[in-house]
Structure formats: C-alpha cells, structure tokens
Structure 1
Amino acid sequence: MTYSIVAWDEHTGMTGVGVATKHLAVGSLVPHARPGVGAVATQAGTNPYFGPWGLDRLEQVQRDTQGEQGADEVLASLLQDDPGRDGRQLQLVDARGRTAAWTGSGCAGLAGHRCYPGFSVAGNYLASELVLLGMAEAYMAAERHGLPLETRLMAALEAGEAHGGDHRGRQSAALLVMHQERYPHIDFRVDHHPEPLQALREILAETAKPYYTGFRATLPTTLGVAQPADMPIRA
C-alpha cells in the first residue's frame, strides 16, 4: 500500500526518505533517518521498530567495522530476528551510500524493489512495474541537475504517482531528510488529503521563501553552540 525511496547524498552526507500511500499518516511510521548513520523505510506489514533498530544497528556496525559493513549486514540481522518477514518490505541506505532492500513473498499486490548506488526504491500494491522505474529515473535526472536531496525525493514520488503509484488511490505522503543536526533538515507530512503529493510540493515550496530561510538561519547548530553541562540532581 506504499511506495518509497531512501537516499544518501554523497556531497552533503544527507540521508532521507520520501514515501506516499493510500493509507492514513504514512509519515508517522514508515520513514526513519539519522545524521551520519543512514535512512530506513519500513512498509507493507510495517514494523515500526525496524526504524530505530535499523539505525542503531547501522551505527554500531559502522563503528565496529570502521565502515566496512553497513546496509546489507543490518538488513540481514533485522530479517533474521523477525518471524513476520515474509509480509514485510524494508529498505536501508547507510552513511556510505550502500543500499539494501527486502520484499517478502507475502507482500500484497504487485510488490518489489530496486537498489542503486546511493538510493533504492520499493513499493507494494503498485499500479505497474513502471512506478519504481519512473521513480529511479526521476531521482537520477534530478541528481544530474544538482538539485537538493529533498527535491530529488519529491521528484521521485511525483514520478511514481505519474505512473499510477498505489493502484488503490492516494491519501498521505511524507519527506524526511537529516543533515548534520539531531533535528531534521526536512520533516514534512501530509497525513490525510485527496492530493497529498500536491500538498507536499506546496509545503516544500515554502522552504525557499525568506520568512522560512531566515528562521532556519537562526537555529542553533552543533558547530556553533556548546552542549549544556549536566544538571546536578538534588534530593
């Protein structure tokens, strides 16, 4: 009931997820990302724990192996521990742009995934195989033009919709992008709307306006603000 893309930007180190579906509030459960670690999308028989577990394991395996292992190893470990894996769809990208994906044999409708260097696409209840192909081609075209990661993700979602997207219709969509901060660079959700991608595009367009860019420029960063000292605990 969902199509999504996870991606890593080699120039900025950003990671992110774009997702759309004929279901309520897809942004609350499917997309997960962490700065310097990677991104995860968990869908079909969604297991929301795959988000934090996957990111924790990515962070650990990258640290323990000096970056020699990543997405493939974490995907295998998550599926090994999950008795419901045949109904799951899962994709990951790590901090070096390595991707891994899984589509269980029990996923409903036309379901599948495609992995590329730096990004992957996946979906179920798809109108056709062209949904994933169109998403990949749109993402790569936007990348060649040097567009920001969130714009590339948006272009991929719109291309998927143009090829039929979720064959049951449309209801919600989301974009999540992490950069260097613990808070999101982009975290926009349309939870219930007849044209969720159109609404999401309108929200994204607002980010270029001076009132928003000026506000973002005032936010503290880890480079410019010292972390507060631990507060003493008093009885």
Structure 2
Amino acid sequence: MTFSLSAFDRKTGMFGIAVASSSIAVGNRCPWAKAGAGVIATQHRTDIRCGPLGLDLLGKGFSARETVDILVAGSEHPNLRQFAAVDRDGRTAYFNGPDIESIATAHEGDACVSVGNFMANTEVTAAMVRGYEASGSTIFAERLLASLDAGVAAGGETQPAMAAALLIVDKHAWPLVDLRVDFERDPAMRLHALWRTYEPIVDRFVTQVLEPATLKPLINSALQV
C-alpha cells in the first residue's frame, strides 16, 4: 500500500526519498537516509528494523545490491517484504517479495529507484522514475516531489493515499528535510504546500545548529523554533 522513489543527487551529494501510502505514518516506517551513506526504502509488511540496518551496511561501504541481498537474507519473512536502496555511488537495487498479493513493481533510473505495492497498474513506478528524471527543477526536493506527482497521476494505489513524506539528508547527521503528512486526502498535494513553507527557511535550521548566534528573528514568529 505504498509507493516511493529513492535517489542520489550527484550534483549536491544529497540522498532523498519521497513516499506516499494509504497507510498512516508512512514517514515513520518506510523512508531511511543517511548523509554520505545512502537511502533505504522498506515497504509492504514493513520491517522497520531493516531501515537502520540497511543504512549501517551502506555506511560501511556495501553496495546497494549487497545491502538489499543482506536484508533479504536476514529477514524472517522475505517473501512478504519489499526493499530498495541507493548507495553513495548512485547504484540502485530492489527486491519484491514473491508472495506480495498485489501489483508490486520496481523501476530503476539514473541514481534512482522506485518501488510500489498494491499499485493500480504496472506503470506507476516507471512513471515515477520518468517524472523524477524529466523534472526541469534544479532543486532536489522538487524533483522528488515531481516523482510522487507522476505516481499519483499514473494511478497510484488501489486505495486512496492518506499519508506522504519527504526525507532528504545532506552533509550532517540530522535530516535536512523531514516533512510528513498523515491521514489527509491528497497528501502529495499537502506535501508540496509544506515544502513551499519550509524551503525559504531550510538553511536556517542548519545555521541554528552550527552558528546560532548569527541568526536574526523571523518576521513571522510562528516559523521560529
């Protein structure tokens, strides 16, 4: 009940993932990313433990393919799992459990991979890759959001999506972007709105960690944290 696109931005070195689902709290369970290491998507009967484990493997230099293979080999129920990974070199890999009782597909592009289950048709994940690669934006977050839009436009899930998330890591131990929408209609659209609000101040949240004394108060105090 989830579809996502994971990617490595070769220009900036960022890793990111955009994901939507008819299941609540998708942002807490499915997307995982670590600066300098890679990104992991763990879906369908989601085993949350595989997120941190996959990032640890990528951080140690295992390739995307090796990482996914290890996750599959170590899973108690690999036949019901779906994994995807992108490593620090932009290599991609995925796994679709053979006993997933729905349309479960995956497609790879240049340093990006899309996976989905309970898809409305077999073209959704391919459309997500095309949407990401065809986006004219120079901003990584907007290309990821474009992939989500393409997945929705291609049919999305068999059930209405009710949750979405955007996760991006850059140079630091904490996420640069971690936006989540839960239990709302048209969550991908709402995610766009959150990004538009967050984008102008994204650098501020890095500065307040590294150089807090240099910050000046925002005019809109509601945006201060």
Confirm or deny a common fold (TM above 0.5).
yes
Q: Per-residue CA shift, 1:164-189, capped at 9, x if unaligned? A: 10111111000000000111111000
Report the secondary structure of 1:55's partner residue: helix
C-alpha distance in structure 1 between counterparts of 2:177 and 2:129, whole Å = 21
Residue aligning to 1:216: 205
CA drift at 1:146: 4.7
C-alpha distance in structure 2 between counterparts of 1:119 and 1:70, whole Å = 14
Residue aligning to 1:100: 93
> Letter of the aligned partner of 1:220 in structure 2?
V
Residue aligning to 1:206: 197
Q: Is the 8 A contact 2:163 2:181 kept in 1?
A: yes
C-alpha distance in structure 1 between counterparts of 2:70 and 2:34, whole Å = 19
C-alpha distance in structure 2 between counterparts of 1:99 and 1:120, whole Å = 6
C-alpha distance in structure 2 between counterparts of 1:5 and 1:40, whole Å = 10
Over 3 Å counting, the alpha-carbon distance change for 1:109 and 1:214 in structure 2 is closer
Q: Is the 8 A contact 1:45 1:107 kept in 2?
A: no
> Letter of the aligned partner of 2:80 in structure 1?
G
Count of aligned positions: 212
1:137-216 aligned within 5 A: 137-142=130-135, 145-209=136-200, 212-213=201-202, 215-216=204-205
Q: Is the 8 A contact 2:177 2:202 kept in 1?
A: no
CA drift at 1:137: 0.7
TM-score (norm 1): 0.86
Of stretches 99-108 and 28-37 in structure 1, the one that deviates more from structure 2 is 99-108
Q: Per-residue CA shift, 1:168-223, capped at 9, x if unaligned? A: 111100000000011111100001101211111100111344xx2573363234xx
Q: Is the 8 A contact 1:44 1:108 kept in 2?
A: no
C-alpha distance in structure 1 between counterparts of 2:202 and 2:107, whole Å = 35
Residue aligning to 1:86: 79
Query: Is 1:118 matched with 2:144?
Result: no
Report the secondary structure of 2:70's partner residue: helix
Q: Is the 8 A contact 2:137 2:143 kept in 1?
A: no
C-alpha distance in structure 2 between counterparts of 1:22 and 1:100, whole Å = 24
> Letter of the aligned partner of 1:38 in structure 2?
G
1:59-78 aligned within 5 A: 59-60=59-60, 62=61, 69-78=62-71
Of stretches 35-44 and 199-208 in structure 1, the one that deviates more from structure 2 is 199-208
TM-score (norm 2): 0.89
> Letter of the aligned partner of 2:114 in structure 1?
V
> Letter of the aligned partner of 1:101 in structure 2?
Y
Q: What 5-or-longer segments of structure 2 have no aligned partner?
A: 213-225
> Letter of the aligned partner of 2:46 in structure 1?
T
Q: Is the 8 A contact 1:127 1:165 kept in 2?
A: yes
Report the secondary structure of 2:54's partner residue: helix
Q: Per-residue CA shift, 1:114-166, capped at 9, x if unaligned? A: 12230000101101122112111110012xx3522111110000110011101
Q: What 5-or-longer segments of structure 1 have no aligned partner?
A: 63-68, 226-235
